[in-house]
Amino acid sequence: MSAKIAVSLPERLLPVLDRLAQKWATTRSGAIAELLRRAEQEELKDRLKEGYIHLAELHKKDAELFFPAQAEVVRDGD
């Protein structure tokens, strides 16, 4: 489903939009939609990266918490 909207751009950006539309073999509307899709993907990548960093920090804290107990088990096994 598509919705019609009106977008105002600075004139200096029109040639950029036209080049992208030609490069991607689409219309101006298609180029804008593609740019928005790419921005959305980049936003998702950033959120996932933040989540993975947070999980890594949690896993590191867990490892540091349990390391002494694991070290005792390994020493007892010698």
**pTM listed for this prediction:** 0.66
Residue 58's domain spans which residues?
Answer: 12-77
How confident is the model at residue 69, as a pLDDT?
75
Query: Does any domain span residue 7?
Result: no
Q: What is the 3-state secondary structure (H, E, C) of the chain?
A: CCCCCCCCCCHHHHHHHHHHHHHCCCCHHHHHHHHHHHHHHHHHHHHHHHHHHHHHHHHHHHHHHHHHHHHHHHHHHC
Residue 67 within any structural domain of the chain: yes
Residue 5 in any domain: the answer is no
Taking only the tens place, the pLDDT of each residue in 17-59 is 999 999 999 999 999 999 999 999 999 999 999 999 999 999 9
Q: Please report whether residue 56 resides in a domain.
A: yes
- Examine residue 17 and state whether it is found in any structural domain, yes or no: yes
Average pLDDT over residues 9-15: 97
| Domain-located, residue 4 | no
- Do the domain assignments include residue 45? yes
Give the chain's domain count: 1
